[in-house]
Structure 1
Amino acid sequence: MPSFFVRALKLNRFQPNRIVTSHLVSPMTLAIVRGIEFLYTFVTSIIVWATTKAAVDYFQYFTHLSYFGLMAYLFASTVWSTLYLRRPESERAKWLRSGSPWWGYTHWLFYSTVVTYAVVIPIVFWSYLAWDRASWTRMEYFRNISVHALNGVFGAVVELILNRHFLLPVHSLFVAAVMILYMLMTFLVFAGQGTWVYPFLDWSQGPIAAAYYFIVAAGLFVIYFILYFLHKYRNKWLAKRSIKVNGDLDKEYEGRDQDDEKEMEEGEGSENAV
């Protein structure tokens, strides 16, 4: 079963050095940036939880779940980078390949959700849910800007500029599956409390509710594939710069996955031939 999962999601194409390296900055600088972002999200999470009117309902909101996911991703990335940097440079590549590959597989899939939701959430919130912002208090401004705007800056903009990850089309199914699980949870919340977490999920609105569900689903895939191409061409355009920054560590994988789409198409061709 695990091997089937690896093949189905093409996780064997994971490259561990992409977690701790950047096209533009040194591994140390990348670790520092992520560490600062983690501290901000950690402190913000505590403040938001403590000031939420119904703190027990904190994790009912997809925004809070995804923000917690962003915080966990930044923490894991910072820890990974710290352990990597503590080793002698000659041993770093070997260390990256040691241990269970599932840590890396999970991190890669986790990143695909983080970067996608970091774009989806600000769009949905500021276009549909932030209609009453004229009445917000200072704390509400801080909370909403932190979890509905800076999450996009940290999880999408900064990561897209600095990291070396690449996305795969098949991972869009994993991102969608997580969203579907959340949608199912909102039905359980409604069954238990009689209220919908978000107003656009309310089926009593009639056909418009189905349209909202469709728009969210379609938008999720559109955003994912925009990010897929942005990652692909960014890696292509900055390939030479990456070699200068990362040296031999980057050359170890040079040519193995320079053109992600080409390799994917070749793999599919061989499977069809069989």
Structure 2
Amino acid sequence: MAGNTFKFGKDTWDPTHRFETSWLLTPWALFFCRALISLYAFTTLVFVLIWNCVNGEQGCTASQNQFGYFTSLTYWGIGFYFFFAALHTFTYARHGVPLLDRFPRPLQALHSAFYTTIIVYPLVVTIVYWARLYSGTWFPVVFQAWSNISQHLLNSVFALFEIIIPRTDTPPALHMLWLILVLALYLALAYVVEATKGFYPYDFLDPQKQHAWVAAYVFGIAVGCIILFGFAWGCVWLRRYVTETKLARHGKFASHTLSGPRPIGDDLASRDTEMHKVRQAGEAA
């Protein structure tokens, strides 16, 4: 796996358009859902920034500080992922070939890695917030209740949508390395925030208060991220097994393509299974 960390693969990219299709929704319906989620995420982010500028005790400083929180950064990630996922789904529904298929292979691989972060990081944020950061009392201000539900609960709902509804395949195991690397980069950012802004985004990162527990928190979150990757991987595998193997629902596709007739039914399942075996062999090499 370590040897393939910087390889993008040579097999055919997503031959049956798993990133743009669903076993349940038509391509147009999937586009609409993804676009709506993206719109909601960006609306939430912009409204929170404006609200903090207008009503916060620190004015726009509080809005600037939002970019030091992992919660906020992952929510921006949700907004951008669903925007591009909606764009790729729209181009597939409209033309039969998604824009993603025209991208260079490194960008296609990055989209796959982006998908993995979307189905894992929101689960990390939700669990850490409600298990460690939540004060235990309900929010007295409606805005605080709404913003926290949006960013610490609906984020995982959006992740579960991407796990359950599209036809996406199980993410490669090497994506675990990139998940941990991004967490390490955020840890560095958190201490940059303290050095430049004078506060820790999360109190469990403060060595003066937590002492040796800081290492335990960091290690625990890293291990939890790997466990949640396994959970997401298992859910994707189970969805594919139930919908395709047991229910024979191989997906709803665009009515036209630019590359000729598309395979359907058993032909589609056979082609996808073969490509899955090729990818697994490449990862094991």
Give the TM-score normalised by structure 1. 0.85
Q: 1:213 aligns with which of 198, 218, 234?
A: 218
**Which stretch shows the higher mean deviation, 22-31 or 239-248?**
239-248
1: CA distance, partners of 2:217 / 2:70: 16
Indicate yes or no: 2:41 matched with 1:41: yes
1: CA distance, partners of 2:263 / 2:40: 31
CA displacement at 1:56 relative to structure 2: 1.3
CA displacement at 1:61 relative to structure 2: 0.6
% identical aligned pairs: 28
Residue 56 of structure 1: aligned partner:
64
Indicate yes or no: 2:93 matched with 1:85: yes
Residue 30 of structure 2: aligned partner:
30
Q: Is 2:13–2:101's contact at 8 Å kept on the other side of the alignment?
A: no
Unaligned runs of 5+ residues in structure 1 are none
Q: Is 2:20–2:98's contact at 8 Å kept on the other side of the alignment?
A: no
Q: 2:230 aligns with which of 219, 225, 231?
A: 225
Q: How many residues align?
A: 262
Unaligned runs of 5+ residues in structure 2 are 57-61, 255-261
Q: Cα–Cα, structure 1 residues 250 and 145, in superposed 2: closer, same or farther, change >3 Å? A: farther
2: CA distance, partners of 1:161 / 1:101: 26
Residue 186 of structure 1: aligned partner:
190
Residue 174 of structure 1: aligned partner:
178
Q: Cα–Cα, structure 1 residues 96 and 46, in superposed 2: closer, same or farther, change >3 Å? A: closer
Indicate yes or no: 2:260 matched with 1:245: no
Q: 1:134 aligns with which of 111, 135, 138?
A: 138
CA displacement at 1:243 relative to structure 2: 2.5
Q: 1:235 aligns with which of 226, 235, 240?
A: 240
Q: 2:127 aligns with which of 119, 123, 127?
A: 123
Indicate yes or no: 2:73 matched with 1:69: no
CA displacement at 1:74 relative to structure 2: 0.7
CA displacement at 1:14 relative to structure 2: 4.3
**Which stretch shows the higher mean deviation, 57-66 or 95-104?**
95-104
Amino acid at match of 1:72: F
Residue 257 of structure 2: aligned partner:
none
2: CA distance, partners of 1:235 / 1:148: 27
Poorly superposed stretches of 4+, deviation over 4 Å:
9-14, 93-96, 249-253, 259-265
Indicate yes or no: 2:142 matched with 1:160: no
Amino acid at match of 1:245: K
- SS in structure 1 opposite 2:273? coil
Q: Aligned-residue CA RMSD in angstroms? A: 2.8
Q: Cα–Cα, structure 1 residues 266 and 103, in superposed 2: closer, same or farther, change >3 Å? A: closer
Q: Is 1:116–1:224's contact at 8 Å kept on the other side of the alignment?
A: yes
CA displacement at 1:160 relative to structure 2: 1.4
Give the TM-score normalised by structure 2. 0.82
